[in-house]
Structure 1
Amino acid sequence: MMRTWLYLRPVQKNLSSLGFVRLLSSLPKISAKDVNKNVRIFQHVTPSSSPRPLVLLFGWLFAKPKHLKKFVDMYNQQGFDVISVQVFLRQLLKPKRVQSLMRDVIDLCDQEERKYQQMLVHSLSVGGYMYGEVLTNFEKYPDKYGDVSRRLRGQIFDSVIDFYGIPGGIARAITHNKSIGNKIDTTLEWYLKKFPSITSDYVKASEAFHDNKLQLPSIFLYSVSDPVCNPEHYEELAAEWRNAGLYATSRFWDDTPHVSTFKKHNKEYTQTVVDFIRHTGVTDASNIKVRTEPPIDEMELLAKGKIVSP
């Protein structure tokens, strides 16, 4: 069943200052729909004179909705609609399920109300693998999905991992205990060797990710202290794409855990993303206003009684 919420402009109930009221009153009206357990759609309610841009947000393993909502808020407050996607461990271990889910996501992008939206991809951690499966579907069904693929304008990769980082990434996502993590890593390596057809699917998604056949502008965001990341690989891939004449850049930080840079360095992260958006031309730069404060979580404010539900 599809569930829908409407995030309304807040009223002055339980607010402590006029400045806070003015800040909240600038928030857009957003409707949120649960398509299924994996996919949520966040759309502006207020009509726009031209199609709004759309972000495909691929989350990390075990990400909670409230965590992904921070990224959703950043894009909503910049004028974007967002389709947020995450997979569960049981799905991640069976690529055919992820491939089917990604086809569902592409189909959502091809619905009439989204047919003319220009798109960006923002992948976080294992979201890099999910995006790889989007690309394999583009390659497998060019006639069906060609219009969608041509609307992609750029790709943002935050701490991404694909096939080659999945065993270690899953192990660290499950536990911080090194001994247990090593056992999980070893078990997953055995699993991949035991089922070569599954490994083949992972490899195809990885190759689609690395090939960048859509020739999209790209940016890698990461922390050099993140044990899950492979900074050298990011920089080598960015250099390879630049040598092919594509726009590819990166930005790194020194001191943040896995997929935590946005939380710890919010202003710098947001500015970096907005600068990249401007480069892609996905929307008029004059319509983008960088928020220097962390994106406001409307659901959190609703829970605190600071905004009123419909």
Structure 2
Amino acid sequence: MAASSARLLAVAAAAAAAARGRAAATFRHAPTVSSSLSFPPNPHHHHHHRPSIRGRAGISFSSTSISLPSSSLHASVPFNLFPPDSDPFIQWDPPPPDAASPLAAGAACRGAPEGPTLVVLLGWLGARQKHLRRYADLYRDRGVGSVRFVVPVRELLGLDLGRRVERRVADLAAEISAWCDADHRRTLLFHTFSNTGWLAYGAILENLQSRADIIERIRGCIVDSAPVLEIRPEVWAAGFSAAMLKKSSSMTGPSAESPDGYTSNGTLNNLSSDVTRPTWGENILLSTLQKFFEIVLHLPDVNKRLEKVHSVLSEKQPSCPQFYLYSSADRVIPAECVERFIDMQKSLGQSVFAHNFVSSPHVDHYRSFPHVYAAKIDEFLKICSIARDGNSL
């Protein structure tokens, strides 16, 4: 099973190169390196290996190779798909000096003035710090500092079943705790992107289960282009394909069900048949990734950990307002999945708000409708400022 999973990933990487080039020549002549990929029986058994760049999980990343120990499978993988990452995983943008928190007004009315507010920006798979910077600036203009967290695609391709990312999330949870501990008046917001950011949020909540004092300081959560609660291989395949192909992916363009022209308030405008359609290479990549995730997501260890995070997100979210920003045109996260989760949260008595942008692609709502997006954030901050104990007034 492990060798089959690794072989599928190698084929997927090659297919991604072909899709990027839009031609078979790219598939045949992409720069390659010898790569051995495998699932170790227990990732923790390989911690004594020292990789050349990042010393975890027995994975070696260098300018010439990607290798895992204990594998007899060798495949040619286009290395230029996953260039070395220069971005830090965690980037802090402290609140502006003497900035008034947008949540302070409501707190003052209750006789309990609050200190600075920090928004935790949890990026989509493959997001870079420069991508999240625009959202950080949006909040900074409103007196809110930020901490940005990204997950590069190659960070999940070490095949240690996501444990390295879990450790990164645990580090972030520790830094957030330290920031809150420095001043008991400090408050938090979370803004997640796609299923990767949403699952990172669930993992942070899991890490903070013993810190009820910090959970109580979470004043709101914005969920952009998520969630899908069910473990669905086709959704994971679509997300990874979009992250690997970036702008070459049809997932980032308008869908056949939506126009590529729309008004500034997100309503439909004039119809068009000029829709980005998947190339043969992208179809191969999607098919291969789906088969890959049909195996990986049902491995007992992976399935158990995902179910645990899903349980936290569905049943143990903080009693603070939730805001879901999504689109009917999203090809990665189906709108009906988001709406089903919204209904579930409402049935649990949570304070839930939502806005359907109708025609914008996956995690592209702010770029497609900047004024509407910013206005919706302002509305939600006002809701959070007058909310207490999770009940909006």
| TM-score normalised by L of structure 1 | 0.72
**Structure 2 contact 345–352 (Cα < 8 Å) conserved:** yes
> Which letter does structure 2 place at the counterpart of 1:127?
G
Residue 236 of structure 1 is matched in structure 2 by 340
For residues 363 and 348 of structure 2, the distance between their equivalents in structure 1, rounded to whole angstroms, comes to 28
For residues 189 and 302 of structure 2, the distance between their equivalents in structure 1, rounded to whole angstroms, comes to 28
**Is residue 2:88 matched to residue 1:37?**
yes
For residues 166 and 386 of structure 2, the distance between their equivalents in structure 1, rounded to whole angstroms, comes to 26
Q: Which residue, 161, 164, 169 being the options, matches 2:239? A: 169
Listed one character per residue, the Cα deviations across residues 52-79 of structure 1 (whole Å, up to 9, x for unaligned) are 1110100011112221110000001110
Residue 153 of structure 2 is matched in structure 1 by 89
* 1:150-165 map, 5 Å: 150-161=216-227, 163-164=231-232, 165=235
Listed one character per residue, the Cα deviations across residues 76-135 of structure 1 (whole Å, up to 9, x for unaligned) are 111001010011234446333233222211221222445532111100011011111112
Residue 118 of structure 1 is matched in structure 2 by 187
Listed one character per residue, the Cα deviations across residues 177-207 of structure 1 (whole Å, up to 9, x for unaligned) are 12222212211222223x3202211221122
**Structure 2 contact 202–312 (Cα < 8 Å) conserved:** yes
Residue 331 of structure 2 is matched in structure 1 by 227
Residue 108 of structure 1 is matched in structure 2 by 175
**Structure 1 contact 171–182 (Cα < 8 Å) conserved:** no
Residue 63 of structure 1 is matched in structure 2 by 127
Residue 138 of structure 1 is matched in structure 2 by 208
**Structure 1 contact 99–137 (Cα < 8 Å) conserved:** no
> Which letter does structure 1 place at the counterpart of 2:322?
S
For residues 221 and 270 of structure 1, the distance between their equivalents in structure 2, rounded to whole angstroms, comes to 12
Residue 307 of structure 2 is matched in structure 1 by 203
Q: Where do 5+ consecutive residues of structure 1 fail to align?
A: 1-35, 284-310
Aligned residues, how many? 243
C-alpha change, 1:236 and 1:191, in structure 2 (3 Å) is closer
**Is residue 2:115 matched to residue 1:51?**
yes
CA RMSD in angstroms, aligned pairs only? 2.2
Residue 74 of structure 1 is matched in structure 2 by 138
> Which letter does structure 2 place at the counterpart of 1:39?
I
C-alpha change, 1:242 and 1:157, in structure 2 (3 Å) is same
| TM-score normalised by L of structure 2 | 0.58
**Larger radius of gyration between Structure 1 and Structure 2:** 2
Deviates more, 1:208-217 or 1:262-271: 208-217
**Structure 2 contact 128–152 (Cα < 8 Å) conserved:** no
Residue 9 of structure 1 is matched in structure 2 by none
**Structure 1 contact 167–185 (Cα < 8 Å) conserved:** yes
**Structure 1 contact 161–169 (Cα < 8 Å) conserved:** no
Residue 265 of structure 1 is matched in structure 2 by 369
Q: Which residue, 172, 179, 183 being the options, matches 2:284? A: 179
**Structure 2 contact 95–146 (Cα < 8 Å) conserved:** no
